[in-house]
Structure 1
């Protein structure tokens, strides 16, 4: 009798494992805004997992990693400004990444992406004078607010923009 109760309890725990509850069926997500992925979980689920956006388009699936090592105990993940082609055949999948709990854990209902986000980083070059008077440059990845300004400067002035900045510092 104890064996049967333990088996039923184990089965119930497995049946109630990680379940993606949002997005809901036929939801419409604007990926340029913040959207919330939600899930229910049990103690037997892994501590962390991977979230993947899947487009079930005609001709095959396209998988895009949203985040690695998402904490299961958080119960939700805020997806902000994600780049994906608008369409109506999307779902989100959760994958275990631990040796003892790997593979697909859960999949959301199918939903639509109505608008894509924009690329959030670019490489910006900074020109700084050195003690010898010759300019030194450094590159770094910058957030979209800075990269949009840097991109606008580059588009507006092309190569002349950075050269004008160097000459302005020299004179």
Structure 2
């Protein structure tokens, strides 16, 4: 099963410069295998954050946390075993 990454990345903190560099907008991910999220950061970013998949196309919105306390300095995170669903967008949630 594949999921298409949403058209927008939502950042929980407007002061944060965390920016996803991969996957790109519109990329399709094969949820039956491992997937990697990569990002760029600046010195003023938090040292860790959560990575979530958010579906705002349903009411109430659904949030699936796929990474907790991810270290900003790592620059990437690999996830797998996510149940397939339509309408999810990635969200980096700084503390």
TM-score range, shorter chain: 0.7 to 0.9
Q: CA deviation at 1:16?
A: 7.8
Q: CA deviation at 1:21?
A: 1.7
CA-atom RMSD in angstroms: 2.0
Q: CA deviation at 1:27?
A: 1.0
CA contact (8 A) 2:21 2:40 kept: yes
Q: Give the aligned partner of residue 11 of structure 2.
A: none
CA distance in 1, matches of 2:60, 2:83: 19
Cα deviations by residue, 1:137-165 (Å, 9 ceiling, x for unpaired)? xxxxxxxxxxxxxxxxxxxxxxxxxxxxx
Q: Give the aligned partner of residue 59 of structure 1.
A: 59
Structure 2 unaligned spans of 5+ = 1-13
CA distance in 2, matches of 1:22, 1:15: 21
Question: What TM-score, normalized to structure 1?
Answer: 0.44
Question: What TM-score, normalized to structure 2?
Answer: 0.74
Structure 1 unaligned spans of 5+ = 1-13, 98-171
Q: Give the aligned partner of residue 43 of structure 2.
A: 43
**Number of residues of Structure 1 aligned to a counterpart in Structure 2:** 82
CA contact (8 A) 2:16 2:44 kept: no
Listed as ranges, the matches of 1:67-78 within 5 Å are 67-78=67-78
SS at match of 1:73: helix
